[in-house]
Amino acid sequence: MPAMLVTQTRLQPAAASLPERSSFKGTRSTQQNSTLKSSSQFFTSSTNLRTVGGGSSRLAIGKNHCAATAAVVAVTARVLRPVEERFKIHCEKNISKERMEELGINKWSKWESDKCVFPWEWKVDEEVFIVKGSVQVTPEDCKDSTWFYAGDYVRYPKWFSAQLCFDGPFEQRYRFRAYGED
């Protein structure tokens, strides 16, 4: 199941405005009542929101607890696309020996590492075949991450920045791609 992200929560009034001055209990000055009426701006409706609750609930405003009646809570949710799709990382899982020969992976440069974490920025497109181990890739300014494992062919795009986390011994074959080369 894809991950869900709640992007916005707003309140929408069922009525057009707050209750009239006579419906408030206690004594208030005219200035306080006009402030309460103008506070209906906080309850702006939005067409992109889906109603998920309702009824005649009361919402407290300020420390006087004057309330707008029939407030409805609305939430917008969207499906998060996978990290690979959002950041244009191409990955082929467990590629075949025929595909490895087609790509010429045995001629690529070799890089090895032990358990470590560091930031990296790709200044050119890079193709990687993971020979041993796994790597967690967390794009810059992103809370989500993705994992690549031994047998995966990965192509990182130019100008991509991420934190790489190697959880143990790691070996990869790699080559850089020239601009426009496909």
Query: Is the pTM of the predicted complex or chain greater than 0.85?
Result: no
pLDDT recorded at residue 71: 56
What CATH number does domain 83-177 carry, 2.60.120.10, 3.30.200.20, 3.40.50.410, 2.40.160.20?
Answer: 2.60.120.10
Q: What is the pLDDT of residues 35-49, one digit of tens each?
A: 444 443 444 333 333
Q: Provide CATH 2.60.120.10 ranges for the chain.
A: 83-177
The Cα 37–Cα 19 span in angstroms is 8
Tell me: pLDDT of 105 over 50.
yes
Which is nearest to 70 in space by CA: 91, 46, 43, 47?
A: 43
State both tokens at 18.
């707050």
State both tokens at 37.
């009426």
The Cα 137–Cα 156 span in angstroms is 11
State both tokens at 129.
């075949």
Over residues 59-83, the mean pLDDT reads: 62
Which has more pLDDT, 153 or 6? 153
3-state secondary structure 43-78: HCCCCCCEECCCCCCEEEECCCCEEEECEEEEEEEE
Which is nearest to 93 in space by CA: 146, 150, 139?
A: 150
Q: What is the pLDDT of residues 131-182, one digit of tens each?
A: 999 999 999 999 999 999 999 999 999 999 999 999 999 999 999 987 656 5
Degrees, nearest 5: CA angle 25-31-37 = 65
pLDDT recorded at residue 174: 97
**pLDDT tier at 32, thresholds 50, 70, 90:** very low
Q: Quote the mean pLDDT of the chain.
A: 73
